[in-house]
Amino acid sequence: MQWQGEPFDKAVGKPWIAGRQFATNQLEWQFRPLRKTWSLLLDDAKFRISFREPTFLEERGARGYRASSEVLNLAPSERRSFLSAQQYFHTAAEAKPLQWPKLLQSAERNHSRWGWRLAKLADGDLGQKRMAARAISTLAHNWRSPAGALRHHGVTPSVTYQWFNGLWAWDSWKQAVALARVEPWLAKSNVRAMFDYQFDEQDPVRPQDAGSMPDAVFYNQDAARGGDGGNWNERNGKPPLAAWAVWEIYLQDGDKAFVAELYPRLMALHAWWYRNRDHDGNGLAEYGANLHPLHGEPGSLNRDAIIQAAAWESGMDNAPRFDADNSLKVLENRDAKGRLLGYSLNQESVDLNAFLYADKQYLAQMASLLGREAEAMQLRQQAQRLGQAIRQTFYDPASGFFYDVRFDAEGKRRLLSDNKGTEGWIPLWASVASPEQAEALVKRQLRPESFGTRVPFPTVSHDSPEFAPDRYWRGPVWLDQAFFAIKGLQHYGYRQQASAMSRRLLAATAADSRDLPIRENYHPLSGEGLHCTNFSWSASVLLLLYNEGLLSEAE
């Protein structure tokens, strides 16, 4: 028997193999040091192939190999197994000698773990079970162990897209909610991986952002933190969904100690929004940006860069509601001593404040669990006041939908009713809309010409002048936004519609197929998969729809 091959050597436009070394039954390739700021960082990486059975190894070309087994003589029906191991080592410290007994024990444990994971899938439709298994597999393949600046296990958005090889905050929260159903310890680790870098008042770079955390963290930090990575991002935060993730994990494994560990950190994150992103102190927060060299200095601000960071903070990078027209302003936020804390847009966003309403409710539940009833009562009272403000401020009776509100220097406010996006469904997910408001959304906005497209819940409504079905956050369907809307329908008793929309998502994504990867987003009219493949939060949503029975209810 023979095996042969060679490493792919043009991933970065030039050879990256420094050499190869043969040993008994083993071959290693050494990678050259590589510092591609935005995608790939290698210092002393190696790739190793090992054979358990006696094997003759020889060179094949400049980089390849040929392996030959001993001569085999098999009797009829006789079987023999040949095992090989392929290992990647990111650093020299990881490149320890291979021990076959330990490796085989690990493989057996891994086999058992997968059996345990898949056994959790309920009996039912085979296609739906296949979809759930594919979702779990996608999350597992995007899972990375601690390395470099990443101190905990975490799930990346996608390992098949070169810029998605780090951890983002709101990706982590959504993934944790789904992972809690399968691997609660990994869900906790994904949360901790972000909180490892929560800022405090002693932070050398941004003490003014105490309580917040980076938007994204990577193997290598940025220059301000002593590294040379490019994707590490502290220009902005991300929507407040961490408390939701922690509470959902608790509901799965009942680990009160985990709640106690995260509760004070979640409270600090919650407080940051009102200290650093509520420009006029009216209790309604705005998306904005942190102090950062790219954002300029007072008197010479880079308005476009700040607006870009604010849109990133929402997670909806190029959504029409953040188009930089003349009415969109950048505002400086200062503390009582006049110290500059950061920037807000002159735009109170409905999704942000609905998320903060839900955040207060989850934090109140945690406070009660931990015996902190006075704090729980205070949080519930705050939620009650915020809920009233959301229902009165962001809802438009004329169209039956929720919108962002933009205000001017005199405090006059106007609804951005020309920009109808999925952010208007978040009040239903947060259970802050009134029953009458929810009824109006269901009756008027689930039509095919609005959000009831073939793949439901496009990020911009089909009847909006800004609808662009293949332009990232201007029309494609992101499954997380669809999930929030579907859960909102369920919260208000529209289970039939929630189930129908869930099954339409499944049909469009074809995630029950053996051939198609789970995509970052989908064309709302054709169902075509768009942008990156093997996307973690899309997989998380499909797993949650399956786990919560939303795919099996009668229409």
- Sequential DSSP letters for 208-222: GGTT---SEE-SS--
Largest CA distance in the chain: 91
- What per-residue string of b and e applies to 43-70 under the rule 16 or more CB within 10 Å gives b? ebbbbbbbbeeebebeeeeebbbebeee
For the purposes of burial, counting CB atoms within 10 Å of the CB of 371, is it exposed (0-12), middle (13-18) or buried (19 or more)? exposed
For the purposes of burial, counting CB atoms within 10 Å of the CB of 126, is it exposed (0-12), middle (13-18) or buried (19 or more)? exposed
Q: Per the residue annotation, which of 58, 317, 323, 373 is the catalytic one?
A: 317
Catalytic site residue 222?
no
Structure tokens at 282: 């009216």
Q: How distant is the alpha carbon of residue 293 from its chain centre?
A: 26
**What pairs with residue 344 in β-bridges?**
288, 331
CA distances from 299 to 148, 332, 416 (A): 38, 11, 29
Measured between alpha carbons, how far is 131 from 133 in angstroms, rounded to an integer? 5
Catalytic site residue 196?
no
- The amino acid occupying position 492 is Y
- What per-residue string of b and e applies to 261-270 under the rule 16 or more CB within 10 Å gives b? bbbebbbbbb
Residues 6+ apart with CB under 8 A from 183: 117
Q: Are 198 and 217 in contact (CB under 8 A)?
A: no
Neighbours of 159 (CB within 10 A): 17
Residues in the chain: 555
Q: What's the alpha-carbon Rg for the chain, to the nearest Å?
A: 26
The long-range contacts involving 515-520, CB below 8 angstroms and separated by at least 24 positions, are: 517/138, 517/160, 518/134, 518/135, 518/138, 518/542, 520/157, 520/158, 520/161, 520/478
Q: Are 476 and 524 in contact (CB under 8 A)?
A: yes
Measured between alpha carbons, how far is 57 from 45 in angstroms, rounded to an integer? 22
Measured between alpha carbons, how far is 262 from 252 in angstroms, rounded to an integer? 16
Q: Are 273 and 209 in contact (CB under 8 A)?
A: no
For the purposes of burial, counting CB atoms within 10 Å of the CB of 454, is it exposed (0-12), middle (13-18) or buried (19 or more)? middle
The residues annotated as belonging to the active site are 317, 520
